[in-house]
């Protein structure tokens, strides 16, 4: 079952101005099956983040169409969660309030917020740090907070842009396992951008390889992991 589909998607920066144009992406065709774990690898600057931004509704394609659950994407679609490399947590909020932030903004009722925040904090192993501030945590723990913030929104498609890029190797491996656990638990479709080929091969069902700029997919590789 098709969960998301990009057809002939390009992104040209500066398209609307008389200045320099930069062809950053495509034309890209990509189909994500519901529930698959898909990784994107490719050289720096080939358009991986641009691809993710288009899927997340954070960037408008210059050409082509983007569908999520059978509908054209306009703005940030409901059901899509994004995790970035940079530590995107709010320094002035505790872990608990960081995780609750999106739900409060969405007007979810207090009991439901408490229930979902407790679950996400427990799932990501943050219970002992619920009342701490991000600055009191290690980089790996802060990235757990960012994942928990996405998890509470119950996304059906999770997009991660180099989420472990700033972590040391040991923490990166640990977080990879955490991501697999999250994927299995939620049944969500996952798109992971990484520059680490080993990470892509170890975690995903399928790896999309992009060429240098302007990025297009030059190959799709099935990893052959048995999935029960
Ligand atoms: P437009 O709406 O005119 O197409 P864009 O949003 O595509 O404008 O880009 C505006 C400008 O911002 C770009 O032309 C570029 O000069 C600058 N810019 C912003 N982020 C970057 C980046 N990561 N790399 C290069 N230039 C950037
Ligand atoms: P990757 O994630 O693979 O490193 P990006 O999608 O970030 O690649 O960038 C693709 C190309 O588009 C790069 O050349 C980058 O400098 C350029 N770019 C990214 N954002 C902007 C922007 N806002 N304005 C102009 N150019 C940009």
Measured in Å, residue 14 CA sits from the centre of ligand 1 at 6
The best mutation among 49, 163, 212 to test binding of ligand 2, ranked by most ligand atoms within 8 Å of the C-beta, falls on: 49
Nearest to 177 by CA among 202, 143, 150: 202
Residue nearest to atom 16 of ligand 1 (CA): 14
The pTM of this model reads 0.88
Residue nearest to atom 21 of ligand 1 (CA): 13
Residue nearest to atom 21 of ligand 2 (CA): 13
Reported ipTM: the value is 0.70
Determine phi and psi for 99, rounding to 5 degrees: -70, -35
Mapped to the 3 state alphabet, what secondary structure does 147-216 carry? HHHHHCCCCCEEEEECCCCCCCHHHHHHHHHHHHHHHHHHCCEEEEECCCHHHHHHHCCEEEEECCCCEC
Using CA atoms, how far apart are residues 85 and 64, in angstroms rounded to an integer? 27
Residue nearest to atom 5 of ligand 2 (CA): 47
Measured in Å, residue 126 CA sits from the centre of ligand 2 at 34
> Residue-wise pLDDT tens for the chain (228 aa)?
999 999 999 999 987 777 888 999 989 999 999 999 999 999 999 999 999 999 999 999 999 999 999 999 988 889 999 998 877 789 999 999 999 999 998 889 999 999 999 999 999 999 999 999 999 999 999 999 999 999 999 999 999 999 998 889 999 999 999 999 999 999 999 999 998 899 999 999 999 999 997 889 999 999 988 876
């Amino acid at each position: 079952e098709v969960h998301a589909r990009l057809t002939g998607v390009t992104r040209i920066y500066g398209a609307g101005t008389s200045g320099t144009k930069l062809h950053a992406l495509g034309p890209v065709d990509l189909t994500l099956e519901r529930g698959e774990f898909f990784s994107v690898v490719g050289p720096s600057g080939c358009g991986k983040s641009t691809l993710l931004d288009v899927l997340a509704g954070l960037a408008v394609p210059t050409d082509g169409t983007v569908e999520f659950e059978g509908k054209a994407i306009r703005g940030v679609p409901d059901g899509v969660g994004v995790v970035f490399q940079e530590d995107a947590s709010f320094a002035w909020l505790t872990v608990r309030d960081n995780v609750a932030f999106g739900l409060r903004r969405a007007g979810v009722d207090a009991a439901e917020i408490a229930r979902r925040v407790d679950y996400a904090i427990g799932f990501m192993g943050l219970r002992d740090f619920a009342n701490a501030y991000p600055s009191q945590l290690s980089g790996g723990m802060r990235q757990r907070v960012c994942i928990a913030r996405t998890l509470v929104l119950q996304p059906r498609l999770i997009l991660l842009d180099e989420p472990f890029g700033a972590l040391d190797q040991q923490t990166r491996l640990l977080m990879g396992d955490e991501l697999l656990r999250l994927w299995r638990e939620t049944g969500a479709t996952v798109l992971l951008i990484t520059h680490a080929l080993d990470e892509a091969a170890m975690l995903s069902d399928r790896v999309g390889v992009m060429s240098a700029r302007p990025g297009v997919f030059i190959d799709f590789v099935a990893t052959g992991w048995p999935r029960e």
